[in-house]
Amino acid sequence: MKAGHVGPDDDARVRRLREYELLDTAAEPALDAIVKLAATLLEVPIALISLVDSDRQWFKARHGLTATGTARDISFCGHVVAADAPVVVTDARLDERFVDNPLVTGDPWVRFYAGVPLRAHDGQVLGTLCVIDREPRTIGPGQLDLLTLLAGQVMALLELRRVAHQLRDERQAMIVREAELADRERQLQSVFDGMVEGVVVHDRSGAILQHNPAAATILGLTSAQLQGRSSVDPRWRATHADGRPFPGADHPAMVTLRTGQPQSDVSMCVHQPDGQQRWLAINSRPLIEPGEREPYAVVATFRDVTEPRALAERLARHQRLVTTGTLAAGIGHEINNPLTSVLTNLSLAIEELTAITDATASSRLTEIVGLLEDARGGADRVRSIVRGLKSLTREPTDLVPTDVNAAVHTAVQMATHEVRPRAVVLLELGETGDVMADESRLVQLLVNLIVNAAQGFERPDPSHNLIVVRTRLDRAVAIDVTDNGPGLAPELVAQVFDPFFTARPAAGATGGPSLGLAMAHGIVTALGGEIACESAVGRGTTFRVRLPRVAPATDAAPAAAPGRGRIVVIDDERTILRSIARLLGGEAEVVTFDDPRDALRFLAAGEEVDVVFCDLLMPFLSGAELFDAVVSTRPELAERFVFVSGDMTRADLRAFLARIPNERVEKPFSIQNLRGMARRFIRSRG
């Protein structure tokens, strides 16, 4: 169907005609039938539906007419549209409106015309239904009414067509929207399913309507077990951080449903069906319909913070250990001073009593010697413990020749509290020589290996559990720590040195994620050695450490007999001064000072001395300050200073000792070492 006389200025009419999809379309059988019926009823040879424009100015422009044209210039149908009323022309040649119309004067020609407007539902005229004949004729009122009725049927069909096309367009648009919504839903579902956080949607009663896979995984449940369960379900086992039960009514989702207020980062411990505990940080947000005040549902999200929480706790414990270690180092220094006096006096008392004891000595005297030796043994143990504490809290220092077996003894003492309730430690120490190491880190390495072995046992049982520490020389210095515990599967052996590795031992074992083995690996590597793990399920575990050996020094020349000399002892602890004076009184003249200022005046006066045993930490003048003051006036005494201290871990003391080659003695010292050192200095001046 084509439109006649539709111009570029009549956009509204064109848009309306396009609503009916009448332009440039195929013939419509129903409309053709109405046209044939109109021709039959009005007894004319021609009937048609014409879609025309009523704009005279456009009509003139289209046909090249001037602006002075009149109604004569408008076509037959144009008069119908313009008048918005039926038009009947009985003889066009006698009607001045059409005397110049080409359809009247040309061939074929039009003599009779009758047309009625096609009026849309909003009143706009879109065209005409008209009948035409080449002969003049008249029609009666009834025939014009029939033509008008048929025009109404034409518009009814056109309206049905318009509505059908509108429904089709809406349906197509709906299909497109549904496809877009389905695609968006797939995208959102992918995001929902791919989230690592658990997400659950609760209805008004608190029952779970929807959840993502992460929620089921974190909670240790299947999807079927989780669906429909509410936060107040008695099957949940949740607790607060202090172990108190966490009521379901206090779950953030339930609180939000009651109050309509969101909840953020609520901490809860959930016990999974398999017994594992997972710490969750939970958030909840209400879903509220517009205009409503109470939520119809709530969305709860939660993340598993078990590992970050455990890491934070381990870091906090580490910080507490650092603080405790710092305090321990200071306390150790305070213990070492009186302990030095106790050990020295006990050793001297035992020497004196032993010297006066002969074959006829009474059993009581022998018993007293035994009591003193027991006391010295206890004091030696205190010394080992303090020494171990100080070694663990000491900052890394330069590598020096270090006795491996001595480090083993210290490590065992340090680990006793952890190991004793769980296992027995057996030492099989061979000749190893020294290794280049920082003693504090070597002790820490051994403590980590021993404690790890103790924690690996399934249950504490010293009658069965055994840890063996072996040392020997095998091209390198070998240290093996072996246990008869449950052992590890091959896939776990490959992971033992990973940070926070855990074998997750059976119930009753205290082993868990730890940095101990990772630190042990780092220490051995830093010392230029190697560490390996050998283990099998049911056959125990062995950690093998190999460290480079220090080349042995050449034997020293035989010692000469000691000579008489002068020894200066400077220490603010008078008990230590008296003990050292008694200890060295048989070797030389001993001059003691409990005030370093008096010692400075004595040495600056030019007094001859063989050796100066000087404490590092003293009031008024430190050992370093005293040394610098003496050497500035008597540089020959610089090499005769031996520094004694109960705490050589302080940064300022380490810096001072690092810049001088002088010997140093750590409290509490052994009387044999101190006597030997005094004799050596006296011989060097003799």
Each residue of 353-404: pLDDT tens digit? 666 665 556 666 666 766 676 676 666 666 656 655 555 555 555 677 888 9
**Under 8 Å CB-to-CB from 105, ≥6 apart: which residues?**
99
Residue 1 lies in a domain: no
Q: What integer is the mean pLDDT of 652-675?
A: 85
Q: What is the CATH number of the domain that holds 85?
A: 3.30.450.40
Listed ranges 1-10, 355-364, 501-510, 606-615; the one with the highest mean pLDDT: 606-615
484 shares its domain with 514: yes
Of the listed ranges 37-51, 543-557, 564-578, the one predicted with least confidence: 543-557
Which residues on adjacent β-strands are paired with residue 614? 570, 643
Same domain flag for 133 and 162: yes
Residues 678 and 572 in one domain: yes
- Taking residues 104-122, report their average pLDDT: 86
Interhelix angle 404-419/363-393, rounded to 10 degrees, is 90
Lowest-confidence pick of 26-40, 232-246, 535-549, 550-564: 550-564
User: How many domains, in total, are found in the chain?
Assistant: 4
Give 276-299 pLDDT, tens digit per residue: 888 999 999 999 999 888 899 999
Tell me, yes or no, whether 221 and 290 share the same domain: yes
Both 402 and 531 in one domain: the answer is yes
Same-domain pairing of 91 and 17: yes
Q: For the chain, what percent of residues have pLDDT higher than 70?
A: 77
Contacts with 120 (C-beta within 8 Å, 6 or more apart), sequence order: 16, 126, 155, 158, 159
> At 16, is the pLDDT very low, low, confident or very high (cuts 50, 70, 90)?
low
Separation CA 263–CA 255 (nearest Å): 8
- In-domain check, residue 182: no
CATH of the domain at 576: 3.40.50.2300
Co-location of 409 and 543 in the same domain: yes
CATH number at residue 472: 3.30.565.10
pTM: 0.41
CB 612 within 8 A of CB 570: yes
Place of tokens 């031996």: 642
**36 domain-assigned:** yes
Whether residues 428 and 488 fall in one domain: yes
- The residue from 274, 304, 334 where one domain ends is 304
Q: What is the DSSP string of 239-294?
A: E-TTS-B--GGGSHHHHHHHH---EEEEEEEEE-TTS-EEEEEEEEEEE--TT-SS
Q: Which residue has tokens 């559990």?
A: 465
pLDDT digits (tens, 9 = 90+) for 53-112: 444 433 333 333 333 334 455 678 888 888 889 999 999 988 888 878 888 877 768 899
Peptide bond preceding 108: is omega within 30 degrees of 0, i.e. cis? yes
Residue 582 lies in a domain: yes
Domain boundary among 253, 284, 304: 304
Residues 543 and 400 in one domain: yes
Q: Residue 351: inside a domain, yes or no? A: no
Are 538 and 571 contained in the same domain?
no
Asked whether residue 46 falls in the same domain as residue 130, the answer is yes
Q: Looking at the structure, tell me whether residues 213 and 151 fall in a common domain.
A: no
Q: What is the pLDDT of residues 158-207, one digit of tens each?
A: 888 888 888 988 999 999 999 999 988 888 888 888 888 989 999 988 88
Cβ-contact 60, 72 below 8 angstroms: no
Per the domain annotation, does 347 fall within a domain? no
Instruction: Give the pairing of strands 476-483 and 466-474.
Output: antiparallel
Structural domain containing residue 597 = 566-685
Does 73 or 607 have the greater pLDDT score? Answer: 607
Question: Which are the contacts of 90, defined by CB distance < 8 A and separation ≥ 6?
Answer: 112, 136, 137, 138
Is residue 511 scored above 50 in pLDDT? no
State which of 304, 324, 353 marks the end of a domain.
Answer: 304
In a domain, 406, yes or no: yes
* Domain assignment of residue 174, yes or no: no
